[in-house]
Amino acid sequence: MRRFRYVIADVFTDEPLAGNQLAVFTDARDLSEVDMQAIAREMNLSETVFVLPATAADADVRIRIFTPAVELPFAGHPTLGSAFVLGAPLQKIVIRLETGAGIVPVTLEREGAKIVFGRMEQPVPRWETVQDPGPILAALGVEASGLPVVRYDLGPGHVYVALDSPEAVQKLSPDIAGLAAATPDGVNCFAHVEGNRWKTRMFAPNHGVNEDPATGSAAGPLAIQLARHGRIPFGEQIEISQGAEINRPSTLYATVEGEGDRIDRVEVGGSAVTVARGELGF
């Protein structure tokens, strides 16, 4: 029987048993792609990460990211969570993670020996307006979006629907099968709370995740969507709350620098805590 060690971390929270769960298999050299997908189904978390030696000279390690259904070239909470898990033994201030979407640097902040916060520089996404958002809106059970419905692609694709209030976001009860038929992407519904605070929910049935507790890959494009449409100034950090409706409250931070449709830098940050260690054998 082969045995593989893993760490469970809760990401985008500083409290155990909240945030978005992540499994990190710290040495996946003897696992095939088929093994990785089967293990991700077995773990049944939003994502599972497998750590491999880097192939790029300027990366520290390579990570492969799997949902229960598919492999993703990039995802936010697996990247940040992996940085927390690997940052301590590697003794890095900046850890450079090789993903399917390129190298993502994560800057780690410490209090003594403890890593307490991380900031990742995300890939700048491509985007396009969704020409017929009707099926998406119908599956969500909403009449309209307060901003153009735009699809952003940074590895995973995300579609953004603006609602009038955080209460409207909270009350959503989408037709999951309808969403799966309407778009292969994650659907992000958001509303302004107050100040720099925003509330989101994200549904991605075609990724094997009906609702995600915290979506780091969607936080950066949300900041871009808001800045491009004049809802926030470029350079302002926003605070995003997500996951309360599925009892996994999460907090994400995002900043975008640029002007108009020129995006210079996208940064997403948050905390993470290790909650379990184990060994899988098969």
Domain architecture of the chain: domains with CATH: 3-121+271-281 (3.10.310.10), 126-269 (3.10.310.10)
Q: pTM, whole model, 2 decimals?
A: 0.95
Strand partners, 47: 22
pLDDT at position 70 is 94
The shares of helix, strand and coil residues in the chain, as percent rounded to the nearest 5, are 25, 45, 35
Query: Which tens digit of pLDDT belongs to each residue from 110-139?
Result: 998 899 999 999 999 999 999 999 999 999
Query: Which tens digit of pLDDT belongs to each residue from 55-113?
Result: 999 999 999 999 999 999 999 999 999 999 999 888 889 999 999 999 999 999 999 88
Contact 279, 1 (CB under 8 A): no
Query: Which tens digit of pLDDT belongs to each residue from 136-168?
Result: 999 999 999 999 999 999 989 999 999 999 999
What integer best gives the mean pLDDT of the chain? 97
61, 67, 72, 78 alpha-carbon torsion, rounded to 10°: -40
pLDDT at position 88 is 82
End-to-end C-alpha distance for the chain, whole angstroms: 5
Ramachandran class of 137: left when φ > 0, alpha when ψ lies in -120 to 50, beta otherwise? alpha
Determine how many CB atoms are found less than 10 A away from the CB of residue 264: 11
The structure tokens 């050299």 sit at 29
User: Mean pLDDT over residues 201-225, rounded?
Assistant: 96
Dihedral sign, Cα of residue 183, residue 232, residue 154, residue 169 = negative
3-state secondary structure of 272: strand
Q: What are phi and psi of 147, to 5 degrees?
A: -130, 165
pLDDT at position 134 is 98
pLDDT at position 89 is 84
pLDDT at position 91 is 84
Supply the residues annotated as catalytic: 47
